Amino acid sequence: MTSSRRNFLKGIATTLALPSLQSLGAATATAAKASKAAAPLRMAFVYIPNGVNLDLWQPKDAQNTSETLKPLANLRDHYSVMRGLDQEKAFANGDGPGDHARANATFLTGCQARKTAGADIEVGMSVDQIAARQIGHLTRVPSLELSTDPPRRSGQCDSGYSCAYQFNLSWRGESTPAPAERDPRLVFEKLFGSGNQEEDAKRRHYEKSILDFVLDDAKRLNKRLDGTDRGKMDEYLTSVRDVEMRIAQAEKFRVEVPEDQKPNGIPETYQEHIRLMYQMMALAFQTDTTRIASFLLAHDGSNRTFPEIGVTDAHHQLSHHRNNAEILEKIGRIDQFYVEQFAWFLEKLRTTQEDESNLLERSMIVYGGGIGDGNRHNHNDLPLLLAGHGNGTLSQGRVITAQNGTPMTNLYLSMLDRMNVKAERIGDSNGKFEVIA
């Protein structure tokens, strides 16, 4: 290897973030104590489209289990089912059709979207960006926005609403969405690349992993680690390597076609795409690269099919089920498919150690959608889960029922309070909704 190439590779290796380690000497031990006293809290929002089969979703008693939620059985004590939370501003309120666009636009903002297909879009700042504005400077990436859909920022998508509403969860301001990334390679480079596109392109040209540049240093570092930290370091490096290998595998099948048909680097299966994005969110939390994330699994109104679970009908079309039992069964399968991927993510957080705790203990994750029953397009008593323990401030394993008419944004205010983010109001909020037992 030439000297210039060696220096180049060594230079970008320094950008790789590492998990917290406690056995690097007195100075680091002191820092670890301080970190323990104020452990970073993470917050994420995961969106499911088109409503759910409510009969299969909602628990029938005080327990937090149901047919749809069976994949979460082993995580029963780490999440709660939320009942009675509404998104009033997603209803028409005089604006006519467009429930799918409003469901997406309102989910994190609690605001009524201006009905327009032009450039004069207006909704409101989302909860994640309120947090990013105040605490985003504490991490390398202020917030992470993910999706499996290609981005849309203009055009008409739903009954006179701009596509910007339907394809964005996160909003930096009233008229400025924070576009989500759906290409795993670009997400990886954002988290672990050098920040210099030219340098990252050179590294890809050399077909060298980021880890190849740091393995020698890691081996030397291992000599200074105790057994627990060696295991943590090995697990972390294995996770990063796994992400790179899966992205590289997806990129082998790249085809030069329009972006909205088959973008480069997107995995062949929907499940692999979702899990790859979840894995990078977990890595971002593990390395404290960011503490705030949102994931639009698919936009509301999505007509994706699910051949991997035997559902070849379009999702949005199925959601207009007209109480047909056969169609409702297919919707239930789709709902459970999404819950299975979420369970995979939660288990990854639960088994990722951080000091004496784990990432699930130090996270708050909202999972759900802006429509209850797709046939009715209702936006009240939404299908929602709240996972994670909020650094010990959330007691889970329950069905938590709010009073009728409680805005979902009240829950967000409570979450921001735990993140030490000051906010008097989010959209239609009228107070905090506390979920402490």
Of 154 and 239, the structure prediction assigns the larger pLDDT to: 154
Rounded to 5°, angle at Cα 429 from 427 and 430: 140
pTM beyond 0.85, yes or no: no
Confidence tier at 207 by pLDDT (50, 70, 90): low
Confidence tier at 21 by pLDDT (50, 70, 90): low
Q: Is the pLDDT of residue 419 over 80?
A: yes
Measured in Å, how far apart are the chain's first and last C-alpha atoms? Answer: 60
Of 324 and 12, the structure prediction assigns the larger pLDDT to: 324
* Residue 188: per-residue pLDDT: 85
Within 13 Å of residue 13, how many CA atoms lie on the same side as its CB? 17
Q: Is the pLDDT of residue 26 over 80?
A: no
pLDDT digits (tens, 9 = 90+) for 134-150: 999 999 899 999 999 98
* CB within 8 Å of 108: residues ≥ 6 apart: 45, 126, 127, 128, 169, 170, 171, 294, 412
Q: Is the pLDDT of residue 180 over 70?
A: yes
* Residue 155: per-residue pLDDT: 85
Write the burial class of residue 322 (CB in 10 Å: 0-12 exposed, 13-18 middle, 19+ buried).
Answer: exposed
SS3 sequence, the chain? CCHHHHHHHHHHHCCCCCCCCCCCCHHHHHHHHHHHHCCCCEEEEEECCCCCCHHHHCCCCCCCCCCCCHHHHHHHHHEEEEEEEECHHHCCCCCCCCHHHHHHHHHCCCCCCCCCCCCCCCCCCCHHHHHHHHHHHHCCCCCEEEECCCCCCCCEEECCEEHHHHCCCCEEECCEECCCECCHHHHHHHHHCCCCHHHHHHHHHHCCCHHHHHHHHHHHHHCCCCHHHHHHHHHHHHHHHHHHHHHHHHHCCCCCCCCCCCCCCCCCCHHHHHHHHHHHHHHHHHCCCCCEEEEECCCCCCCCCEHHHCECCCHHHHHCCCCCHHHHHHHHHHHHHHHHHHHHHHHHHHCCEECCEECCCCEEEEEECCCCCCCCCCCCCCCEEEECCCCCCCCCCCEEEEEEEEEHHHHHHHHHHHCCCCCCCCCCCCCCCCCCC
pLDDT digits (tens, 9 = 90+) for 43-94: 999 999 999 999 999 998 777 789 999 999 999 999 999 999 999 999 999 9
Confidence tier at 343 by pLDDT (50, 70, 90): very high
Q: Which of 287, 282, 292, 276 is nearest to 185 (CA)?
A: 276
Retrieve residue 148's tokens: 């499996």
Mean pLDDT value of segment 33-50: 81
Domains along the sequence of the chain with CATH: 42-191+266-418 (3.40.720.10)
* Residue 230: per-residue pLDDT: 73
Of 162 and 2, the structure prediction assigns the larger pLDDT to: 162
Q: Are 262 and 255 in contact (CB under 8 A)?
A: yes
Q: Cα–chain-centroid distance for residue 393?
A: 21
Confidence tier at 20 by pLDDT (50, 70, 90): low
Confidence tier at 189 by pLDDT (50, 70, 90): confident
Q: Are 334 and 318 in contact (CB under 8 A)?
A: yes
Strands 292-296, 144-147: parallel, antiparallel or unpaired by DSSP?
Answer: parallel
Q: Is the pLDDT of residue 399 over 60?
A: yes
**Mean pLDDT of all residues belonging to the chain:** 85
Q: Is the pLDDT of residue 14 over 50?
A: no
Lowest mean pLDDT among 4-18, 179-193, 220-234, 288-302: 4-18
pLDDT digits (tens, 9 = 90+) for 227-286: 667 776 777 777 777 777 766 665 654 444 344 433 346 888 999 999 999 998 998 999
